[in-house]
Structure 1
Amino acid sequence: MELLCAERVSPSTEGAAAPAPGPRAAVPDPVLLRRRVLDNLLRTEERYAVTTNYFGTVQTEITPHMRRLVAEWMLEVCEDQGCQEEVFPLAVSYLDRFLSICPVGKSQVQLLGTACLLLASKLREPGSRCLPADLLVFYTANSITLADLCSWELLVLSKLKWDVAGVTAHDFLPLLLSRLPLRGLVNTNMVHRHAQTFIALAARDYEFMLYSASTLAACSIAAALRGLSLDGHLARLHDLTGIDLDCLHTCLEQIEDMVQHMIEERPVSAPNGQSREAAGWTPPPSQDKAHSNAATPTDVRDVHF
């Protein structure tokens, strides 16, 4: 019996410091791109969808403007901490699901958003790279306490019945992109990143709240393709998802209007974050950002129209 080990290891320089271990992500698995995975997601997404507008019914104190302010703050935290792109949409999904069933006061909205960020980062960040609770408290300018955050984390879990493995629009992107005839026409990675940007921007606006995750994903892909002067393939996306074609057209127009409005009105940012400092923004404590290469891509200026 041969017991010779044929494993090859990369040579290391003697005396050199070992690199800091980073978060380990799973390699792409082609099995996860099969049609049955897409069908399962299409069936499952209904369980996590918000089907009614909760403003004026469940929520008597919260307004769409308050929701947008909290969502923009959540997005800024994710951007600043280099979170995985799935964290922010999942946190907003928790926020909407909670607000659709439980009334919240004005003073509790940011606390709810913070608890949703904590839960989403625990679920979607690799390894132990989730957002620390004390850092989230710092981002609220210490307007909440650690005890408040822990108690609201349990409250959100109980109201959502511990069903937090939600389906987001990001889950549909690779499944839909792999089934579009794009080979040789465009860089699919660029389309993927632009679609991620549109999903993150749309998550801030309550007008996109009632769209299903698959609808938002399909229309974000179509908007990214049309922004690159290509066919949006709405007919093919309709065949893949079974979503009504008129609904896809409506959502696509809303996304394009949103992006165009941002391009026209977004001020030019000062270099090195000077605008945030001038506005009184306080940077977080220094810490190791070993996963800074995985950041939420939400700079609309990177989208080429």
Structure 2
Amino acid sequence: MDLLCVERLSDCRLAERDPVIFEDMRVLQNILNLETLFIPSCNYFGTVQKDIQPFMRKVVTTWMLEVCEEQRCENQVFPLAVNFVDRFLCCCPISRRQLQLVGSVCLLLASKIRQCHALSVDLLCVYTDHSVRPEDMRNWELLVLSKLKWTVTAVTGFDIVDHVLHRVPFSTSHPLTRQHALTLVDLCYIEPEFIQSRPSLLAAASICAAVRGLNPACGSTVLTSVCALTRTEPKAVERIMRHIEVVLATEMASQQQQQASLGPLPGKLPSSTTPTTKVSNVTDADESRQPETPTDVQDVHF
């Protein structure tokens, strides 16, 4: 008898929520106990990395997020890839010319681990505008794995959000709570200031900021409940929430200014920037402005 496989590779339906995992409080406790094992060991700017500055990391991580969004990757791919980048940079000095290569390799590894269909080497090279060669990515994949000591699983803010939302009453009051919280988690992983922050702290701040934005009336109640579940200090959560709000305000003001200055052509809609837009001649003066999507970090100059 012939066996027939009717599985459709294009079927990207997510697995249903497992009640055994989410109903058992021990799962969240184990996640919180393990999270410190995967936090980057140092703030590597100026110590391990002599040629890389915080704004360069922000440019590359923003590009990584846009690639994930363009390819509709699973939500957990991006924070895991950034965790790989930071842990690698803590122990292996590189030049600024190699930073996007590291980001590409970490995206490749994270997609292999956290989703069914991994990003391909050739596709990632296209997103770098061919500034990264396929053979370099394959060689550096082994280098990154060796520096990570083949520890390619890590606790990220994404892993904590669903467990917290499952245990708080306000999570079902607004359907966009989870979506907004995960978006803010991604924003936290872009910011260099949070390199050594615990994932539970980033998740707690993102959830509270999302709820505050959707329903300001229950802000204090949310903060107390989330901090109790994630073992975080309310003051630390408030500090990250204020930073998130400042970044969001800056992003929105920058986008509004760009739309006002450019404006759509008559009869045409404004086109969005794709993840292959080239950025060149980034200087220290450019650090304060919102970076565009890079394709060639080799063009970063002072």
The residue aligned with 2:198 is: 212
Distance 1:123 1:19, change over 3 A: closer
Match for residue 73 of structure 1 among 63, 66, 73: 63
Deviation per residue, 1:54-104 (Å, 9 max, x gap): 101111000001101111111111111111111111101100111111111
Query: Is residue 276 of structure 1 aligned with residue 247 of structure 2?
Result: no
AA aligned opposite 2:228: D
Q: Does 1:44 align with 2:38?
A: no
CA distance in 1 between partners of 2:13 and 2:163 (Å)? 22
Match for residue 104 of structure 2 among 114, 119, 124: 114
Q: Which residue of 2 aligns with 1:28?
A: 17
Distance in 1 separating the partners of 2:168 and 2:236? 19
Letter aligned with residue 131 of structure 1: L
Q: Tell me what 2:249 maps to.
A: 260
Instruction: Give the direction of change, closer, same or farther, for the CA distance of 1:55–1:20 in structure 2 (3 Å limit).
Output: closer
1:140 and 2:145 aligned: no
Deviations 1:25-51 (A, max 9, x none): 322101111210100000111010124
Q: Compare the two structures and name the one with the higher helix fraction.
A: 2
Change (3 A) 1:273 1:86: farther
> Counterpart in 2 of 1:298?
none
Residue 239 to residue 275, structure 1, CA distance change in 2 (3 Å): closer
SS in 1 for 2:169: coil
Change (3 A) 1:280 1:195: closer
Residue 211 (structure 2) aligned to one of 205, 222, 225: 225
- In the alignment, what sits opposite 1:202? 188
Structure 1 residue corresponding to 2:152, chosen from 164, 179, 194: 164
Structure 2 CA distance, aligned partners of 1:52 and 1:234? 29
C-alpha contact (below 8 Å) 2:171/2:178 kept by paired residues: no
Structure 1: which 5+ runs fail to align? 1-17, 283-305
Match of 1:175 among 160, 163, 174: 163
**CA distance in 2: counterparts of 1:227 and 1:123, whole angstroms:** 33
Aligned in 2, Cα 1:241/1:148: closer, same or farther, shift over 3 Å?
A: same
Moved over 4 A (4+): 18-21, 269-273
Deviation at 1:204, TM superposition (A): 1.2
Partners of 1:107 and 1:144 in 2: CA distance:
10
- Which stretch has the larger CA shift, 32-41 or 244-253? 244-253
Aligned residues: 260
Between the aligned partners of 2:82 and 2:269, the Cα distance in structure 1 is 28
- AA at the equivalent of 2:128: T
SS in 1 for 2:130: coil
- For 2:89, give the aligned amino acid: L
The sequence identity of aligned pairs, in percent, is 41
Instruction: Give TM-score scaled by structure 2 length.
Output: 0.80
Distance 2:148 2:71 in 1: 26
Q: Cα–Cα, structure 1 residues 273 and 31, in superposed 2: closer, same or farther, change >3 Å?
A: farther
Counterpart in 2 of 1:14? none
Give the direction of change, closer, same or farther, for the CA distance of 1:21–1:82 in structure 2 (3 Å limit): closer
Question: 1:142 & 1:262 partners in 2: Cα distance?
Answer: 29
Q: 1:272 to 1:52 in 2, by over 3 A?
A: farther
User: 1:194 is matched by which residue type in structure 2?
Assistant: H
Decide whether aligned partners of structure 1 residues 20 and 122 sit closer, same or farther in structure 2, where only a CA change above 3 A counts.
closer
Query: 1:236 deviation in Å?
Result: 1.3
TM-score for the superposition, normalised by structure 1 = 0.80
Tell me whether 1:193 sits opposite 2:179 in the alignment.
yes
**What is the CA–CA distance in structure 1 between the aligned matches of 2:42 and 2:67, rounded to whole Å?**
28
Map of 2:284 onto structure 1: none
Which one of 89, 100, 103 corresponds to residue 99 of structure 1? 89
For 1:275 and 1:236, the matched residues in 2 are separated by: 39
- 2:75 paired with 1:85: yes
- CA pair 260-115 structure 1, distance change in 2 beyond 3 A: same
RMSD of aligned C-alpha atoms? 2.2
For 1:140 and 1:221, locate their aligned partners in 2 and report how far apart those are by CA, in whole Å. 33
